[in-house]
Amino acid sequence: MGDIRIGIIGTGVIAGTHAGILQQNNDVTLSSVFDIQKARAEKFAAEFGMQALSGVEDVIADSDAVYITVPNKFHAEMTLKTLSHGKHVFCEKPFALNLNDARKIVDAVEKEEVIYQLGFSRRLAPVYKKMKELITSGKLTPKSFNIKMNRGELQVPSWTSDSKVTGGFLFESTLHLIDMVRYLFGEVKKITAVGSKSVYPCVDDFSMIFEMENGIHGVFSSSAHTTWIFPFERVEIYGDHASIVSDEMEAVTYCMDLNTPVEKLTFSTLPIDERWGFTQENELFVDRLLGRDSGENALVATHLDGYKNVELMENIYEEVGLGR
Ligand SMILES: NC(=O)c1ccc[n+]([C@@H]2O[C@H](COP(=O)([O-])OP(=O)(O)OC[C@H]3O[C@@H](n4cnc5c(N)ncnc54)[C@H](O)[C@@H]3O)[C@@H](O)[C@H]2O)c1
């Protein structure tokens, strides 16, 4: 039983992933949970040795830090509530669904001087960390990129096709790689985008061109209805006769000059929580709460990243001009 009491609001799929990891951490005590589905909360609490309480405020009062793992449209409200009690927050992506809420969260994090972390787990996934390392070490200087981030369907969970709940399809998994564009290439200068409502009632197909402040540019496509055929997620980075290519979060392949061997790192033998960066993001959150820095704290997504990403999302939806 560790010193840090962590509570969880929303006991669905991703909450189970986080709790399973936090349960192994000696610095953490998993305290209490709340879910609007009482039976779900009770089952979850029993599984992880927690208490199921009857409201969000109860969990906040009982914890030093709160995980917000409810559907997207509740993130801002619950984050603000937790911050108003001066408690630390780990919130699943997205940060917020509009800039107004995003600004309020930034102000509250800065006023309360608490730790805030956003669930962009891919930043810590070995594939993407390797890509970033190859860039920051100067082994490849990116000139342009080609990214795709598809979803097979918007059916599971059922709320993923309802843009009133998600904020729009882009706020689902696509947002991970929109954040990745900033993580790998710096700040965005301009996005040009077209989209359509092809299958679902929300805008579910996007073709975008990114122009970065440092002159790098790239294309990014995202469709919500492809079936789960591989690869549904792929990043290709092009340098001076050099490229780095990802295969989902399984492997990264790179070649740094003409007439040189191709190198490939495969991570498929790692447990999935590590391969997808969930283990590492939870460990880093606890480290940050304890004031520790293994040298990787700067990799996590903060409230400022959250704000910038919401700003980009609003720009894209405005460009497409079909609502969400
Ligand atoms: N980082 C990642 O890779 C990743 C992966 C999956 C999900 N997510 C994000 O995590 C969040 C949850 O996704 P999920 O797949 O676990 O969903 P889920 O539907 O499995 O779980 C959501 C839970 O929240 C509960 N809930 C709904 N409204 C509530 C409210 N007002 N108060 C309290 N509880 C409420 C539901 O009853 C459900 O148990 C989403 O925002 C999603 O985008 C992130």
Q: How far apart are CA 317 and CA 9, in angstroms?
A: 29
Confidence of residue 233 (pLDDT cuts 50, 70, 90): very high
Average pLDDT over residues 293-298: 95
**Angle at which helices 99-112 and 303-320 cross, to 10°:** 170
Alpha helices by DSSP H, listed for the chain, are: 13-22, 38-48, 56-61, 75-84, 99-112, 126-136, 163-166, 174-185, 272-275, 278-289, 303-320
Phi then psi for residue 26, to 5 deg, are -65, -15
The mean predicted confidence, pLDDT, of the chain is 97
Can you tell me whether residue 36 is helix, strand or coil?
coil
**pLDDT score for 1:** 74
CA distances for 249 relative to 115, 126, 185, 210, 276, angstroms: 28, 8, 19, 23, 6
The neighbouring-strand residues paired with 89 are: 66, 116
| C-alpha of residue 281 to centroid of ligand 1, in Å | 17
Please state, as a whole number, how many other Cβ atoms lie within 10 Å of the Cβ of residue 116: 27
User: Is it true that the peptide bond before 201 is cis, omega within 30 degrees of 0?
Assistant: no
Confidence of residue 37 (pLDDT cuts 50, 70, 90): very high
**pLDDT score for 268:** 96
Specify the pTM. 0.97
Q: Which of 11, 14, 73 to mutate to test the pocket of ligand 1 (most atoms within 8 A of CB)?
A: 14
Average pLDDT over residues 276-291: 98
Pocket of ligand 1 (CB under 6 A): 9-15, 34-37, 40, 69-72, 74, 92-93, 119, 121, 157
**pLDDT score for 57:** 98
Q: Give Cα 74 to chain centroid, integer Å.
A: 16
**pLDDT score for 217:** 98
Average pLDDT over residues 258-281: 98
Q: Which domains does the chain have, with CATH numbers?
A: 4-121 (3.40.50.720), 122-272+298-320 (3.30.360.10)
The neighbouring-strand residues paired with 210 are: 191, 218
| C-alpha of residue 12 to centroid of ligand 1, in Å | 5
List the residue whose alpha carbon is closest to atom 20 of ligand 1: 12
List the residue whose alpha carbon is closest to atom 27 of ligand 1: 70
